[in-house]
Structure 1
Amino acid sequence: MTDEPEKALVDCADLEPVDLSRLHAVMEQHTREWHAQLGKQLAAAAAAVVPVLPRITIPVVELDSVRRLLSEQLADLTGFNDALRRLVEPMTTVFEDHWRDQWRDMFASIGELVRNLYPENLREAVPRLEGLEVLLIDEGIPLMWVPGPQTVRALLDAPNAAARRRLIGQRWKGIASDCEAVLETVDHPRLKEDRDFALHVIAALRDGHIAAAQALAANLLDSLLQKHFDKATRIELTRNDFKAKGIKFKLDEYKVNVALTFAPVWHAHAKYFPQNGDAIPRVFGRHPSAHGVSRTQYSRVNTVYGLMLVTSVIKFFDVEMP
């Protein structure tokens, strides 16, 4: 705002009565300038955040092509709508209805930009980054493309990790159907075999063959990473040194689709060394599924975790591969 409008606002405040027509003119000028600046900021944010297809070579994905700053930009956008509302709502109590309509349209377009960052199952929930970190990284719950929006909402609303795990166990039939629906949309010719094996996981799960379903899910996950990533990329996305070094998967180093898909894959690769006396984990893991076959590791709820993981990864490649 220029010096002159600021002076005009002060002069108006000292007058009795207030010259509302002058105040409206000043605010209209301010709004035009503010809209122009906001448009530039949104354009820059969209260019930086809206997913851009990574360069994918056959059969591997080059890691440098999928590294992008994510978390700070995404956090700014997901909190942007609320921040604007806090700024503007006091003004809307003063001005006429057409002012409110302008702000409402702006909020709607910002909300649409945020929703389009996510796959369809996340668009209504529009989860905040801090909530995503807990579910994806700390608990290893896949959220990319599956489960369905109602289950996503229930997971985000659940009070703790135990409640979320219990919810996944209770909704296993619905989640299996969610995975089946997503897998049926996979049509890339290089993924046909992978998709069919994932559908075998669902069939075995529904028929009560829990151990067979979990073993297939764990091995299919490993096969997908081996087949479609080079060694360096595979190690980068699955190196889980949290127990030894306290280092977590860094969402801010990857594009949205990559971060949300592979954070729970990283969690599933927690180190497990039976030769060192490590206790068999209760939660789903790729290594204990292979080297710690037991009632502790093999369960229906863990099979559902494995199924969601392979579904997310297959759909990721279906979307991203040329």
Structure 2
Amino acid sequence: MMPINWRGSRLADSEMIVLMQEGVPLAWVPPADVIQQLLTADDPASRAQVIDSCRPMILASCEAALASVTDTRFSAQKAPLEECVRMAEYGMFSGAQALAANAWDTLIRGLAFANPGWLKPSGQWPGYPKVLENIPAVGDDDPTIRQFREEAFLPFPRALEAFWPPAPVPQNFNRHATAHAAATAQYTPVNAVTAVMLAVSVLRDINDMGYPIQMHA
């Protein structure tokens, strides 16, 4: 029932939930030893340092996770994410972040359009707040389902936090700032790797779990 990068690693479940809610993807990627370093880091700044220093290992795990995506319906999303990994490996972080954010956004919309309850009554795109209302939350009274089978969704609220000028540009990876505040405050190597991890994690989980999805791409 667990993503392959968690199996046999004796990672602290409750601590991983907190970390994912902070916006750090942990499902399917990165490797367990990187997760352990993230769990022992003292604060978000220290965790960012772990992501930066472990970048080669993280990107290698993203490449391996993408290779495990076997559903041909997702070929059009898998290929750009493979490109993101290559860009990040060669230091083209801004391009990797922008493309990964858009690939992830495409997957979000695919999930929404396959779930009528997520949409407006007219069947139209409902906006991100409505999508977030439907993202599974930890702490429900059904632990057998919640036991990390929807863990790839836990970073969504942080990555989709509302951002409206003149508020400061978020320093963590943020989809809206990536789209609308393209500058060095948001575009960083750590945010690029986080964006790639998030998109790969979600795609790998969709492939594994067979979630209903209706791609408009």
The aligned length equals 196
- Residue pair 1:237, 1:262 contacting (<8 A) in 2 also: no
Match of 2:139 among 252, 267, 271: 252
Please state how far the C-alpha of 1:300 moved relative to its aligned partner.
0.7
CA distance in 1, matches of 2:96, 2:86: 8
Give the TM-score of the pair, scaled to structure 2. 0.82
Q: Could you tell me which residue of structure 2 aligns to residue 238 of structure 1?
A: 132
Q: Could you tell me which residue of structure 1 aligns to residue 16 of structure 2?
A: 132
Q: Structure 2: which amino acid aligns with 1:238?
A: L
CA distance in 1, matches of 2:174, 2:26: 17
CA distance in 2, matches of 1:196, 1:226: 18
Please state how far the C-alpha of 1:133 moved relative to its aligned partner.
2.8
Q: Structure 1: which amino acid aligns with 2:17?
A: E
Q: Could you tell me which residue of structure 1 aligns to residue 77 of structure 2?
A: 194
Deviations for 1:61-97, whole angstroms, at most 9, x for unmatched residues?
xxxxxxxxxxxxxxxxxxxxxxxxxxxxxxxxxxxxx
Q: Could you tell me which residue of structure 2 aligns to residue 311 of structure 1?
A: 200
Match of 2:91 among 203, 208, 215: 208
Q: Could you tell me which residue of structure 1 aligns to residue 160 of structure 2?
A: 269
Match of 2:173 among 284, 303, 307: 284
- Residue pair 2:2, 2:149 contacting (<8 A) in 1 also: no
CA distance in 2, matches of 1:221, 1:184: 17
Q: Could you tell me which residue of structure 1 aligns to residue 55 of structure 2?
A: 172
Give unmatched runs, 5+ long, in structure 2. 119-127, 212-217
Please state how far the C-alpha of 1:278 moved relative to its aligned partner.
1.2
Match of 1:217 among 78, 100, 118: 100
CA distance in 1, matches of 2:132, 2:81: 20
Match of 1:294 among 176, 180, 183: 183
Q: Could you tell me which residue of structure 1 aligns to residue 121 of structure 2?
A: none
The structure where helix makes up a greater share of residues is 1
CA distance in 2, matches of 1:157, 1:118: 21
What are the within-5 Å matches in structure 2 for residues 71-150 of structure 1? 117-137=1-21, 139-150=22-33
CA RMSD of aligned residues (A): 2.3
Q: Could you tell me which residue of structure 2 aligns to residue 12 of structure 1?
A: none
CA distance in 1, matches of 2:131, 2:10: 25
Please state how far the C-alpha of 1:252 moved relative to its aligned partner.
2.5
Deviations for 1:31-81, whole angstroms, at most 9, x for unmatched residues?
xxxxxxxxxxxxxxxxxxxxxxxxxxxxxxxxxxxxxxxxxxxxxxxxxxx
Please state how far the C-alpha of 1:232 moved relative to its aligned partner.
4.2
Please state how far the C-alpha of 1:265 moved relative to its aligned partner.
1.9
Change (3 A) 1:150 1:237: farther
SS where residue 173 of structure 1 aligns?
helix
Deviations for 1:245-264, whole angstroms, at most 9, x for unmatched residues?
xxx97313463345311011
Please state how far the C-alpha of 1:236 moved relative to its aligned partner.
5.0
Deviations for 1:9-47, whole angstroms, at most 9, x for unmatched residues?
xxxxxxxxxxxxxxxxxxxxxxxxxxxxxxxxxxxxxxx
Deviations for 1:212-242, whole angstroms, at most 9, x for unmatched residues?
11100111111111123336447555359xx
Change (3 A) 1:259 1:265: same
- Residue pair 2:112, 2:131 contacting (<8 A) in 1 also: no
Deviations for 1:122-179, whole angstroms, at most 9, x for unmatched residues?
1233333431232011x21101010011111211222222211110011111100100
Q: Could you tell me which residue of structure 2 aligns to residue 72 of structure 1?
A: none
CA distance in 1, matches of 2:157, 2:131: 6
- Residue pair 1:125, 1:152 contacting (<8 A) in 2 also: no
Give unmatched runs, 5+ long, in structure 1. 1-116, 241-247
Change (3 A) 1:320 1:221: same
- Using the aligned pairs only, state the percent identity: 28
What are the within-5 Å matches in structure 2 for residues 6-85 of structure 1? none
Please state how far the C-alpha of 1:211 moved relative to its aligned partner.
1.0
Q: Could you tell me which residue of structure 2 aligns to residue 321 of structure 1?
A: 210
SS where residue 121 of structure 1 aligns?
coil
